[in-house]
Structure 1
Amino acid sequence: MVRTLPMASTLRPSLSCFRFSSNTRFGVSLSSQRPLSSLHLGSAVPHLHSFGLKASRLLREGNGLSINAAGNAAQASTSAVEENVLDWVKKDSRRMLHVVYRVGDLDRTIKFYTECLGMKLLRKRDIPEEKYTNAFLGYGPEDSHFVIELTYNYGVDKYDIGTGFGHFGIAVEDVAKTVELVKAKGGTVSREAGPVKGGKTVIAFVEDPDGYKFELIERGPTPEPLCQVMLRVGDLDRSIEFYKNAYGMELLRTRDNPQYKYTVAMLGYGPEDKNAVMELTYNYGVTEYDKGNAYGQMAIGTDDVYKTAEAVKLCGGKITRAPGPLPGINTKITACLDLDGWKTVFVDNIDFLKELE
């Protein structure tokens, strides 16, 4: 039997290796605001009999108007705060930083990614006291590229990928050539090179040693070859609105495939040919998925983790790590779940660059 370590030990300490609690900086509470008119009402009620029916009715109605006015003012104030936070999200400097997931043999995976997929090993970090090792791989430095963060937990050689995770996308100049290289290195090809169904783009699907799928997409030279993370969601329209409003992503395009009963939406912080994007997939009639324990989370840079957390809550997301600095390194983060339970960690942009140094 394989022992799966707790989630806290599987994630990078600078992002999410801590117990989570809920907190807020910008929440607006109306419970402490006692309407002035309530004092008048309390003192007037014992004397209503001396006014007669019409007078008492006017007093009650007048007091109701005061309460309604106070309530409307409070609601307007709250709405203004919410609107300001959501407007700020659209202006925030955000970028997809890295994606975290777990593997059973770190050296084997590094060898496959570097030899077959052309990635570079950027750095490794061993944390023996916590019994795990991280490796960062990608096609350029972390301060300007989207990268992969692999996690190996001592003694755990297998994970359940589940049915919710889809694939990673990599842009290559020659899909057929890459497929042959993967075969030569003993990799698994689950879809041979050829045009995508209903289109002209040449693609292929390969699997790494742990069974994670990679879509190879034939594309000319691009500054961001690691270009997609595909996750399945239960309500595409709902997810699109959440990722736009809470995460500040732009809806780049959608594609419906009724013949195969699924719809996809591409969202990100810039055009697909120059940036990594999220590919959300909705399969007709499927509202829930098994997430397994292999895929970890996405990390996104932000200028303010406190406002980010407030926006996530306003949009219905769940904060699993209150915004604030991490003990020891003072990098400010907040962690959250989207409406389908997929985890994202937002990291302060300035703190992230300092941490890389």
Structure 2
Amino acid sequence: MAMRRALHFVFKVGDRAKTAMFYRDVLGMKVLRHEEFEEGCKATCNGPYDGKWSKTMVGFGPEDDHFVAELTYNYGVAEYKLGNDFLGLTLQSSQAVSNAKRLGWPLTEVGEALYLTQAPGGYHFYLVDKEQPPNDPVQKVCLGVSDLQRSTHYWTTLLGMKVMDKNEEKKTVLMGFADTQCKLELHDIGGTVDHGTAFGRIAFSCPREQLPDLEALMKKENQKILTPLVSLDTPGKATVEVVILADPDGHEICFVGDEAFRQLSMVDPKGNGLLDKAMAEDKSDEWFAKHNRQKAAA
């Protein structure tokens, strides 16, 4: 659907220091902004947790024209249980492959010029060993579904995505709002989708005026609305409005009003320093690092 954009995927992270190393030093992404919060998000951006947490946006460029990762860190939560819901993020960067090899980050060759690696926490990333394109290197996010036809209907008919490719043999459908954006790939896993406790969320923007109609459509179609239209305040920044949905397999989907989000998502040149400062002051980060060194030595 015109004027809708793919924005980011939300990952819950336990070891913030190691996670920062992966995104910055292995993938080559930049910290776009970093924020600390004293209590849980009204739209459960950080999951079902009420305590102190942080949000770090990382990507290859501004969220206006790049698909990025939102890293949510709940203080005191060391790890999350993976499910079979998130199947991988694919990006094209021979530099990332080179970085991984240089740093000794584990890589598995799974196809021609294609490597599988894992972010801390076990999240799968597929690296295409080709020169990074001038536009966004992030190509697609793959989610597991239990009924491909039902899910395709939901994402196309109700959310307005267009199908760009189908693979009957692999049981996948590739779709998106525009050819120039990061795509969504649905993969039929032939069984129930388990979200574990690590479950993420995919976010899109649309004109603010579309949010009430989107919510009304979901009500009419008896689809799940996790968070009805709500305003989210960030001190000193734009207030954004969001609706949080769940698809037939329970994948969380955030739609945010585009106009305010473009203000909120502006790159903060202090973001990298703010993340480093937060990690330096967080004693649990030190504990994770020590714990991992002990596990590696065992």
Coarse TM-score class (shorter-chain normalised): 0.7 to 0.9
Q: Which moved more, 1:137-146 or 1:213-222?
A: 213-222
Q: Which moved more, 1:222-231 or 1:343-352?
A: 222-231
Q: Is 2:204 the partner of 1:295?
A: no
Q: Which amino acid aligns with 2:116?
A: F
1:342 CA drift (Å)? 0.4
Task: Give, in whole Å, the separation in 2 of the partners of 1:165 and 1:241.
Answer: 20
Matching of residues 299-310 of structure 1 within 5 Å: 299-303=203-207, 304-310=210-216
Task: Give, in whole Å, the separation in 2 of the partners of 1:152 and 1:246.
Answer: 32
RMSD, matched Cα: 2.0
Q: Is 2:265 the partner of 1:344?
A: no
1:118 CA drift (Å)? 1.2
Please give the secondary structure, in 2, of the residue aligned with 1:188. coil
1:256 CA drift (Å)? 2.3
- Of 109, 118, 124, the match for 2:19: 109
1:316 CA drift (Å)? 4.4
Matching of residues 189-338 of structure 1 within 5 Å: 189=107, 191-192=108-109, 194-195=111-112, 202-219=113-130, 221-257=133-169, 262-271=170-179, 274-283=180-189, 286-303=190-207, 304-326=210-232, 330-338=239-247
What TM-score results when the alignment is normalised by the length of structure 1?
Answer: 0.65
Task: Give, in whole Å, the separation in 2 of the partners of 1:327 and 1:133.
Answer: 15
Q: Which residue of 1 aligns with 2:87?
A: 166
- Of 87, 99, 116, the match for 1:181: 99
Task: Give, in whole Å, the separation in 1 of the partners of 2:233 and 2:26.
Answer: 38
Q: Which residue of 1 aligns with 2:276?
A: none
Q: 1:247 to 1:218 in 2, by over 3 A?
A: farther
Please give the secondary structure, in 1, of the residue aligned with 2:54. strand
1:74-115 CA-partner distances (Å, limit 9, x unpaired): xxxxxxxxxxxxxxxx45x10011111101111211111111
Q: Kindly report structure 1 stretches of 4+ aligned residues shifted beyond 6 Å.
A: none
Please tell me whether the aligned partners of residues 104 and 210 of structure 1 are also in contact (alpha carbons under 8 angstroms).
Answer: yes
Q: 1:135 to 1:228 in 2, by over 3 A?
A: same
Larger radius of gyration, structure 1 or 2?
1
Please tell me whether the aligned partners of residues 65 and 136 of structure 2 are also in contact (alpha carbons under 8 angstroms).
Answer: no
Please tell me whether the aligned partners of residues 334 and 346 of structure 1 are also in contact (alpha carbons under 8 angstroms).
Answer: yes
1:251 CA drift (Å)? 0.4
Q: Which moved more, 1:211-220 or 1:336-345?
A: 211-220
Whose helix proportion is higher, 1 or 2?
1
- Of 59, 67, 79, the match for 1:146: 67
What TM-score results when the alignment is normalised by the length of structure 2?
Answer: 0.77
Please tell me whether the aligned partners of residues 101 and 296 of structure 1 are also in contact (alpha carbons under 8 angstroms).
Answer: yes
1:180 CA drift (Å)? 4.6
- In percent, how many aligned pairs have the same letter? 31
1:218 CA drift (Å)? 4.0
Counting matched residue pairs gives 249
Q: Which amino acid aligns with 1:181?
A: N
1:315 CA drift (Å)? 4.3
Task: Give, in whole Å, the separation in 2 of the partners of 1:232 and 1:301.
Answer: 22
Please tell me whether the aligned partners of residues 85 and 199 of structure 2 are also in contact (alpha carbons under 8 angstroms).
Answer: no
Q: 1:147 to 1:105 in 2, by over 3 A?
A: same
Gaps of 5+ in 2: 40-50, 267-298
Structure with more contact order per residue of length (Cα contacts < 8 Å, sep ≥ 6): 2
Gaps of 5+ in 1: 1-89, 196-201
Q: Which amino acid aligns with 1:266?
A: L
1:29-57 CA-partner distances (Å, limit 9, x unpaired): xxxxxxxxxxxxxxxxxxxxxxxxxxxxx
Q: 1:309 to 1:193 in 2, by over 3 A?
A: same
